[in-house]
Amino acid sequence: MDPEQYADVVDRIYAGATVPGAWTDAMRGLASVVGGDVAAVLVSGPAEGRFTPANIALDEAALQAYGERYARIDPVVRAMRATTGRVAIDGDDVVTAAEKRRSEFFADWARPNGLEHCVCGVVDRSGAILTWVVIAGSGPRSERSEDPADVLRPFLPHLERAVAVERRLDREAGAGWRAGAIATIDLLGAAVLAVDADGRVAHANAAAADLLGRGTGVHVDRCGRLLLPVSAEQDGLRRLLRRAARCDDSGTRLGGRMRAHRADGLPCYVHVIPFGVAAAGPDWAALVVVTDPVEGRGVPPDVLRAVFGLTPAEAIVAAAVTAEHAGGGLDRVAEGLGVSLSTLRVHLQHVFEKTGVHRQADLARLVTVVSGGFRDDANGADAAGRDLRPVPEEPRLRPPR
């Protein structure tokens, strides 16, 4: 998967959490990347088939029929409920062609709506309530170059966290909204700043305060405006903020992302997301998210294993290579891990194959985006003391067989 394309869809997903109507755009982007015609995030209840459409990019009549009858007999949903954790399932792996021909669900609903083939993923489990994403279309898997479940899987953590943020904001939509919004932003592990149209900072979470204070050149001037070290890039940030703060001719506020540079010349990435909640006021026009691959060291290998399906050894290599990308070489990584350079290269090649990238620079960018900037405690629990590093008894890297 192209990292730029991946990052674009992730941007849209997080915009969906704060901008009214932005979920539809996110679902269209996700459908395009995974290889389907339509997509939606859906919420279904227990045995009676209670069903709530949410974040829809599907035909309304088809959704109504699905909710009233077909959700109860959807074999792919049954398969998801039988699993644990965050999983992605290709419907073609769950239901055979012969079963589809005999199935009321496929004969009377999926096939007439051009949705015979689908890939689904679990976004959240809360008791008997299942939140899940579906990408569906008429094209079978044999026509796709990549396994659609593998393509969908890296997006599931972002969907989970965006849905958690959206729900948190919904709970705080009344009295005390501002305090709730600040608490939500403070869930994020990346540097996130709430700014007005001129870039004046209304709130910075702990990671942003750390970024501003550690000599990267990203700073706040005497008027409280966020500044980048390179003047041409500062102009680009101003343009993104203007887009985010003002509606275009169609009434839409747009965000965007840009590559910027720290004072030492190393890259960082700036994402501007329109803050579409009416209660926000003019001083909360947008959220600015700054991801810094250089300081993004120590990406938990557990996260990389969950997102990309890496082995423990591959996840350790991916995290180490990403951490050393700014100034170290593979020799240094191999020495630090206690393995030979040839062993490291074999593991790294497997990482490239599973992540769909071909260079260390692209891997560093992809891992920066995938780490998502969110703490692992999307529901608000304190994760400060949680150790996500490999457990001590995990074996050291060995040469692959």
Contact 366, 355 (CB under 8 A): yes
Residue 188 has pLDDT above 60, yes or no: yes
Give me the domain span that covers residue 212. 190-291
204 lies in some domain: yes
Domain limit, last residue, from 165, 181, 212: 165
Amino acid occupying residue 353: E
Residue 174 has pLDDT above 90, yes or no: no
Q: How far is C-alpha 93 from the geometric centre of its chain's CA atoms?
A: 25
Which range among 109-113, 200-204, 286-290, 304-308 shows the weakest confidence by mean pLDDT? 304-308
Instruction: Give the CATH number for residue 269.
Output: 3.30.450.20
Instruction: Give the CATH number for residue 37.
Output: 3.30.450.80
Q: How far apart are the C-alpha atoms of 352 and 346, rounded to whole Å?
A: 10
180 lies in some domain: no
Residues 225 and 155 reside in one and the same domain: no
Residues 25 and 161 reside in one and the same domain: yes
Domain limit, last residue, from 291, 322, 357: 291
DSSP 8-state code for residue 234: H
Q: How far apart are the C-alpha atoms of 288 and 195, rounded to whole Å?
A: 7
Residue 387 has pLDDT above 60, yes or no: no
Q: How far apart are the C-alpha atoms of 296 and 372, rounded to whole Å?
A: 11
pTM (predicted TM-score) = 0.61
Contact 397, 339 (CB under 8 A): yes
Average pLDDT over residues 153-159: 85
pLDDT confidence band for 185 (50 / 70 / 90): confident
Instruction: Residue 135: name the closest of 183, 192, 90 by CA.
Output: 90
Number of structural domains found in the chain? 3
Contacts of 376-382 spanning 24+ positions with Cβ under 8 A: 376/300, 376/303, 377/187, 378/160, 378/161, 378/164, 378/165, 378/187, 379/164, 380/168, 380/183, 380/187
Domain limit, last residue, from 165, 181, 198: 165
What is the per-residue pLDDT across 19-62, written as a single tens digit (0 to 9) for each? Answer: 666 788 888 889 888 888 888 888 876 544 455 555 555 677 88
Token pair recorded at residue 134: 């579906």
